[in-house]
Amino acid sequence: MSLRINDIAPDFTAETSKGTISFHDWIGNGWGVLFSHPKNFTPVCTTELGAMAGLQDAFAARGVKVIGISVDPVESHERWKNDIRTATGFEVDYPLIGDKDLAVAKLYDMLPAGAGESSEGRTPADNATVRSVFVVGPDKKIKLILTYPMTTGRNFDEILRAIDSIQLTAKHQVATPANWKQGEDVIITAAVSNEDAIARFGSFDTVLPYLRKTKQPTA
């Protein structure tokens, strides 16, 4: 069965460009983003890993560690970093898992539908992970899952935006509306009564009986 939001993110130990990492221990008390790319030395992937490198400080500022994965060996990741720097200007300093035996790819259901479940039954193309993203919280539960096709590079600002929303919800019992960005009004969840809402947020607007908005809490 595939992984779902609120499942415990499967733990694993893997070889990475920063040495051996045990996933849950590596996340520690913070947050983690595990993201896969299909293949080293390919065009879209090169732009994606550079984009993530450019945002690594923004993820760190939110208490989020980033780790990439593909089925390429760690030595290949090391060689590819030069190309990523040349193409994007960014140095990849987050760990990259070399998942040669597809162990993590299978654990996280990152392989496309194809020629069966065993690596023997798959062609090299089937063995490439799709573009998956898993956001994992300090409780080691999966908070967000994204899956993109091979030919569509991801929007890494959107991952940050979603993390901002998820972290706000974890702290303040608020949700965020469509296209919300940091600093914009938020939605008070149904779990909070009007009385509680006044106590917590000071004031709010009732747009509809089930849609109450308030300023983004800052503390």
Name the one range near ligand BEZ by CB under 6 A: 14-22, 42-50, 56-64, 73-81: 42-50
- Binders of ligand BEZ in range 57-116 (CB under 6 A): none
- 43 makes contact with ligand BEZ (CB under 6 A): yes
Question: Do 155 and 52 touch, CB atoms closer than 8 A?
Answer: no
Q: Which is nearer to ligand BEZ, 61 or 125 (CB)?
A: 125
Q: Which is nearer to ligand BEZ, 152 or 189 (CB)?
A: 152
Q: In whole angstroms, how close is the CB of 125 to ligand BEZ at the nearest point?
A: 8
User: For 125-129, which contacts have Cβ atoms below 8 Å and span 24 or more sequence positions?
Assistant: 127/71, 127/102, 128/38, 128/39, 128/70, 128/71, 129/36, 129/37, 129/38, 129/69, 129/70, 129/71, 129/99, 129/105
- Choose, by CB under 6 A, the member of 23, 31, 33, 39 that binds ligand BEZ: 39
Least distance to ligand BEZ from the beta carbon of 35, Å?
13
52: contact with ligand BEZ by CB under 6 A: no
Q: Which residues contact 209 (CB under 8 A, 6 or more apart)?
A: none
User: What six digits make up the tokens of 65?
Assistant: 């560690």
Q: Which stretch binds ligand BEZ (CB under 6 A): 35-43, 87-95, 99-107, 203-211?
A: 35-43
**Residues belonging to the active site:** 45
β-partners of residue 212 are 206
Query: Which stretch, 38-46, 54-62, 79-87, 96-104, contacts ligand BEZ (CB under 6 A)?
Result: 38-46
Which contiguous run of DSSP H or E holds residue 34?
Answer: strand 31-36
Q: Taking Cα atoms as reference points, which of 55, 64, 73, 101 lies closest to residue 16?
A: 73
Q: Which residues bind ligand BEZ (CB under 6 A)?
A: 38-39, 42-45, 128, 150-151
